[in-house]
A and B are shown apart, each in its own frame.
Chain A
């Protein structure tokens, strides 16, 4: 109710201008000044941390001497300036009578200008047609209707501008001392018109030096001085205080650290040379500072609460801030390292001495397959499942799915697009690359994950198979999402049942190719599901026997599915050993969560891990084929790691980052 009433909310608004004495607007000067370190502009704050609210139907005045920031404030409210800091919320339409006739084209006639200016204010042609008569009547300019505006007197221009701007009754009427235009009769007419609009429900925001006008028209007022709020409250009191201060030479109040040390010492604020008159001026302030300027008065606008039905009763207790797990960034780093090691190390060069060393001393005795590749992937899966379970109380299932897809999919497309261009460029320099052989269809299918639907492997990147079961996992989770928050065991049974059904469906003879292809990839979903189980066990929302039951089911499903879909993982290279190691490592790290501290570098690498995952295979292979013959494998491997990190960073900085910000801006508030 209270928030409904506030038609304008100005919160902690600061407005900074760069008063570069000579404007640097060409490149040479910019470069020269940059190297001379002269690019420090003279900063000038026209407004400092201004906060106030205007209630609907309560005429509001802004007073202050020249150059105190009144007009800037009006322009911030009407959306012409964008505040440097802080925010302005305006609920309703605004008619700014700030500079009349601002949108006029002097070469066009009055008639054409009415339509043009109407369009500038956002009115349609049809609407202006219907109001044309009224505007010309009010402006009393019928005999000049087809005369170019450049032949008008300034008073006539103002009359026309006023008539157009007041053609509808706005919610907010912003008036900046314009009543001094035109002749006396027209001034009277304007005042009557404004009064009529106020009577019909417009809220007036008014700037004036005239104490009489302020007292007559307004109920509340704000007094600004050097961009700092001096006083907010009853119009008469504020106006009186302002005039008393003016008569005394204007040396009272101010602060905000005395307007930031008089704009870093010594410009245009001479009265600071005198010691601040704390003693004499403070008691002068009437005690009626009804609305404190401090932002604490209003708590920040609460984020739109997700649909109440989705929130379990105990959700109020759930922490609003997302807990960041330090161990996860360490695990991400480890997983990333393992995968990159596998793909760019032993996988590409089986005879490499370093690869041999690790292979013979770690992987073979421990039965770790794929030189850690599977191990790393399992870790990624577990992390994804764990995090999804952790966020299960935020938003709806569809929103979650949308959020995840937005995070995963566009960067995937982008990584293929950039690689396509990159390898084209490389092929110019070195002759055709290995990737030249692929058809546009293969590029399209691989880049969009469509290849897994038609049952072909991704031949271009080769690592994207991971995303397919992951998205499938999110899809399954979205189905049972409401229950996941309320009763995890039930939801988990549902997910495992769905997964089992899918895995089995793939083996039915004669099943459509699409189902068989999806099923062939689906068994990996068991890995993130295990991450979920671990989370619920850890957070105490799953009992031990439930965990054992659900876990046992998953294990059996995994064993059977691996044997069915990937027989060689079952017979020759025991893939599930890596899974067991992954689970073990994850559990140990989780238990050590209290002890682990995240290092900024580790957190940074963790954030980058998705991009590294996407780009390391194609870019890395390309770099290796270029570098290895020249540098030897060991050096080439090191250089490739650095280059891959660079490429991943570029993708993160220019693609993933902007996309995430875009989502946050466009109402993606349900997920932090």
Chain B
């Protein structure tokens, strides 16, 4: 109990720092670009245009309302890969600070994930624009849209914590992870329908956490349906598992970081 209170106290104390780091990340990201934050919006839009052109004319998938199908999957996955990649190098990147002052170290991966999350929120505007442009019907279910975003946020925090620990011990992780995200992207139904996957491995793909999150997001935004129970339980389970594993691993290893960075 005492420890929990101390922990909360620490959270409160370093909340400002978390905010500052997020701000700094965002500032650094769009420094000296003319359009600045607008890029968070334009990027997914332009990507969506390119990909819908490619996949509508070259590989034909019969997916109704393909632009939305694409952009919903794409912003979720982009967020995940960007935030975890950034979180991975966060501890290494802040080595100079960690070596000199005491700061709770989980602040670094978490701040990176949060700054990506801000970008994701900007990208939601792109989804709205596409929805308006394609005249997608809007149902009351849409108020649930933050739910899948929370899933992917929590999951990314957990994965980011794990990666930041691994990267401290093995710098190779940073290179290897790029390959992993690419493979992961192709194993997630972002630009193809889930029915394009062979029957035998479909249940396996459906256990893929990102597939679950994206499915839930599409159910809510695109199809105006509630995501099923199984989806909800599995999603929450993944989030919880990622957070617990990441949190425990990070907690155990953070004392040793300083010896390796």
Contacts and interface: CB of A to CB of B under 8 A. Distances in A.
Contact of A102 (B14, B96, B169): B96
Interface in B76-129: 96-103
Contacts of A304: 2
B203 interface: yes
A119 B16 contact: yes
Interface in B9-59: 13-17, 19-20, 24
A142 B101 CA distance: 26
Contacts of B13: 122
Contact of A424 (B2, B103, B203, B260): B203
A81 B102 CA distance: 8
A658 interface: yes
A125 B14 CA distance: 11
A27 interface: yes
Nearest to A439: B229
B237 A417 contact: yes
Nearest to A654: B245
B207 interface: yes
B100 A119 contact: no
A99 B17 CA distance: 19
A37 interface: no
Contact of B101 (A28, A115, A120, A417): A120
Contacts of B17: 119-120, 122
B170 A27 contact: yes
Contact of A667 (B1, B15, B207): B1
A103 B248 contact: no
Contacts of A30: 170
B183 interface: no
Interface string A11-32: 0000001100001011110100
Contacts of B228: 440
Given A102-B100, A667-B1, A82 B258 contact: yes
B256 interface: yes
Contacts of B259: 17-18
Nearest to B256: A82
A327 B98 CA distance: 51
Interface string B133-177: 000000000000000000000000000000000000111110010
Contacts of A425: 204
Interface of A: 17-18, 23, 25-28, 30, 78-82, 94, 96, 98-99, 102-103, 105, 108, 115-116, 118-125, 304, 417, 421, 424-425, 427-428, 440-441, 443-444, 658, 662, 665-667
Dominant SS among interface residues on chain B: helix
Given A116-B20, A120-B97, A123-B16, A81 B258 contact: yes
A122 B101 contact: no
12 contacts: A23-B260, A78-B101, A102-B97, A103-B101, A115-B20, A120-B103, A123-B16, A124-B16, A440-B229, A441-B229, A443-B233, A444-B229
B102 A78 contact: yes
B114 to A, nearest CB: 14
B165 to A, nearest CB: 13
A96 B171 contact: no
A25 B207 contact: no
Interface residues of B, number: 43
A82 B171 CA distance: 22
A102 B101 contact: yes
The 7 closest A-B pairs by CB, nearest first: A82-B255, A102-B100, A79-B102, A119-B17, A122-B13, A27-B172, A119-B16
Interface in B211-261: 228-230, 233, 237, 248, 254-256, 258-260
Interface centre among A26, A120, A421 (most CB of B within 10 A): A120
B200 A428 contact: yes
Given A80-B99, A82-B255, 9 more contacts: A18-B259, A30-B170, A102-B96, A124-B16, A424-B203, A427-B203, A428-B204, A666-B3, A667-B3
Contacts of B255: 82
A666 B101 contact: no
A125 B18 CA distance: 12
Contacts of A121: 101
Contacts of A417: 237
A26 B256 contact: no
B179 interface: no
Contacts of A81: 258
A667 B14 CA distance: 23
A25 B171 contact: yes
Nearest to B170: A27
Contacts of A99: 100-101
A30 B173 CA distance: 13
A79 B200 CA distance: 53
A428 B201 contact: yes
B100 A98 contact: yes
Contacts of A428: 200-201, 203-204
A125 B16 contact: yes
B179 to A, nearest CB: 13
A96 B3 contact: no
A421 B241 CA distance: 13
B14 A122 contact: yes
A25 B201 CA distance: 36
Contacts of B97: 102-103, 120
B258 A96 contact: no
B196 interface: no
Given A99-B100, A667-B2, A25 B169 contact: yes
B16 A424 contact: no
Nearest to A661: B248
A239 to B, nearest CB: 28
A425 B200 CA distance: 11
Contacts of B100: 80, 98-99, 102-103
A428 to B, nearest CB: 6
B62 to A, nearest CB: 27
Contact of A96 (B1, B14, B102, B169): B102
A120 B18 CA distance: 9
A94 B15 CA distance: 18
A195 B20 CA distance: 32
Given A102-B100, A105-B24, A658-B248, A665 B171 contact: no
A425 B248 CA distance: 26
Nearest to A16: B259
A26 B254 CA distance: 19
Contacts of A108: 24
Contacts of A122: 13-14, 16-17
Contacts of B254: 82
Interface centre among A18, A26, A123 (most CB of B within 10 A): A26
A80 B101 contact: yes
A93 to B, nearest CB: 10
Nearest to A126: B16
A18 B248 CA distance: 24
A658 B103 CA distance: 25
Contacts of B260: 23, 25
B64 to A, nearest CB: 28
A171 to B, nearest CB: 15
Interface centre among B14, B16, B203, B255 (most CB of A within 10 A): B16
Contact of A444 (B24, B233, B256): B233
A421 B228 CA distance: 17
B4 A26 contact: no
Contacts of A123: 16
Interface centre among B13, B15, B102, B228 (most CB of A within 10 A): B102
B170 to A, nearest CB: 5
Nearest to B247: A662
A4 to B, nearest CB: 17
A119 B172 contact: no
Nearest to B244: A658
B32 to A, nearest CB: 11
Nearest to A655: B244
Contacts of A80: 98-102, 258
Nearest to A93: B13
Nearest to A28: B172
B166 to A, nearest CB: 10
Nearest to B206: A424
